[in-house]
Amino acid sequence: MFYSLPCVTMPPDPPALPGNDKEAEADARERLLAAAQDAFAEHGFKGATVRDICRTAGANIASVNYYFGDKEKLYIEAVKRAHVCAGRMDTFPVPPAGTPPVEKLRGFIREMVTRMNTPASPAAMKLMLREMADPGKAAHVVVTEFIQPAAFALRAMLRELLPQLDEQHLLMTGFCIIGQCLYYRQNRPISELIFGKEAIDALDSNAVADHVVRFSLAALGHAVPIGDATSGRKTSARGKK
Amino acid sequence: MFYSLPCVTMPPDPPALPGNDKEAEADARERLLAAAQDAFAEHGFKGATVRDICRTAGANIASVNYYFGDKEKLYIEAVKRAHVCAGRMDTFPVPPAGTPPVEKLRGFIREMVTRMNTPASPAAMKLMLREMADPGKAAHVVVTEFIQPAAFALRAMLRELLPQLDEQHLLMTGFCIIGQCLYYRQNRPISELIFGKEAIDALDSNAVADHVVRFSLAALGHAVPIGDATSGRKTSARGKK
DNA sequence: GAGAGAGTAAAACATCTGTTTCAATCGATC
DNA sequence: GATCGATTGAAACAGATGTTTTACTCTCTC
């Protein structure tokens, strides 16, 4: 199992904060960022108010101007911080050389689903998803540092796995996989409304990861299809191709 | 091909509007709803302003109070209207009796992807997706009338197709399929940022539908896996089970 | 200890936003 | 034509919100 996280797994300390060797009280700037992250995640950019953020952070109204300039710059910084807290996607563990393509893909999907469903910081993940659903000024950061590396890694794996597939179908295949990974978190509230909160809560994160892996690999012909004998864990099941 | 739409395919006239036999000018209430739909779709509930909506609708500020009471009630009505414009999911065409389960599923997925990617009213779809991503007071309507029927229909098909699967895996399988259907529209802006607008625009809606169908059916063992011989269109390819 | 500079506190500002008020207008009915 | 109800128009209101200003308090340096 090569995908043990080598990077941050807990909400990390403020990354490389100058002069932050204090004991208990965090920097005001850092408190503002943390409060902003929560508030923006919960209410969006428009919905969150700087007054509320400052109150939560125990700082004065003027401090957001002092440290960040204005609300929007604070927002962008909060998103940047969130993408670190949520676990940067470009820090995906690299499988050891010689790992079979199918195994690489399996590890990737598992990692993706796991990170989505049990993020180190739920608020950070929520904020990132919000920015993804409605890209604004901060989307560039999220895409460049968080998503694009993962997307390109996935595409490389698929190309290795399906060398005969044209670009467009390769792209769509990646979307099919990512779509599944994103669904559970992106649409969890709605799923709960449809099927009831209990039914959704009952879904174990590991079981979801396993299922998405099997579904995707089966679609690619590298696992036993869903619904077949329960031992559907073998890698290259059918001797086709 | 049984899934030709029997219901609305164009932005329908205001449904059952009392005394609307006029020629050109629409009811002020209807103009407000239309403008609100666009504004809320574009900027969200907080971001859209009643002043802007009224200006677009050519109505007075007081009219939103007069016709709807307040901004939130206008929002709810706009969402209700949107879910009609976007094509109610409970109006899915029913396949003729005796249709094989696989064909039913194939038709369902195709219909779903098509409706998502080429909606009658893009703004309406955008507003619905917004409400789904961040469920508020209007989510209940969207879920009950738009999504739940489709979700239950899908689950019934899957149960018919995979009778030996337990409830949880049935649920997850449905999520895997819906996740793919939703991805392209829900994350189109981000996809464009990652791979470039041209690459995404180049994806034909029909090709996407075909691909999602094949990916899903292959995962269920009812189509040739992705990457196999290009003739992957047969229904029950492998002679297993 | 004086001075400088970083950080904080409280108030004020200007603008925007949802909502309300109240008079004016229009159209049909008696 | 007068009356009544529905609808519209313009202005005003009250509150919230992002931002700025100004004075104050530390802490560190000289």
CATH of domain B28-85: 1.10.10.60
Which pLDDT belongs to residue B127? 96
Among candidates A46, A179, A241 on the partner chain, residue whose Cβ is nearest the Cβ of B182: A179
Interhelix angle B167-186/B101-117, nearest 10 degrees: 30
Helix, strand, coil % (nearest 5) of chain B? 65, 0, 35
Confidence of residue A146 (pLDDT cuts 50, 70, 90): confident
Record the tokens describing residue B167, joined without a space. 């409830």
Looking at residue B90, what is its pLDDT?
72
DSSP string, A162-178: -TTS-HHHHHHHHHHHH
B203 touches chain A (CB under 8 A): yes
Contacts 24+ apart (CB under 8 A), A133-137: A133/A186, A133/B129, A133/B130, A133/B133, A133/B186, A133/B187, A134/A44, A134/B44, A134/B130, A134/B189, A135/B189, A135/B190, A135/B193, A136/A45, A136/A75, A137/A72, A137/A75, A137/A76
Q: What burial class does residue A223 get, using C-beta atoms within 10 Å of its C-beta: 0-12 exposed, 13-18 middle, 19+ buried?
A: buried
Contact B101, B161 (CB under 8 A): yes
Mean of pLDDT values over B91-98: 86
pLDDT grade for B227, boundaries at 50, 70 and 90: confident
For the segment A96-120, the average pLDDT, to the nearest whole number, is 93
Can you tell me the mean pLDDT for A2-8? Answer: 41
Tell me what pLDDT residue A232 has.
37
Instruction: Note the pLDDT of residue B25.
Output: 60
Range of lowest pLDDT (A5-9, A80-84, A100-104, B225-229): A5-9
Q: Average of pLDDT values for A84-94? A: 81
Mutate which: A71, A83, A134, A185, vs B, most B CBs within 10 A: A134
Mean pLDDT of A48-59: 97
Residue B12 pLDDT exceeds 80: no
User: Half-sphere exposure (CA, 13 Å, Cβ side) for B124?
Assistant: 25
| Annotated domain spans of chain B | 28-85, 89-219
Q: Selecting from 3.40.50.11540, 3.40.50.970, 1.10.357.10, 3.30.1330.10, what CATH number does the domain B89-219 have?
A: 1.10.357.10
Mean pLDDT throughout B104-128? 94
Is the CB of residue A49 less than 8 Å away from at least one CB of chain B? no
| Average pLDDT of chain B, as a whole number | 85
pLDDT value for B19? 35
Q: How far is A187 from chain B (nearest CA, A)?
A: 6
* A109-145: pLDDT as tens digits: 999 999 999 999 999 999 999 999 999 999 998 898 8
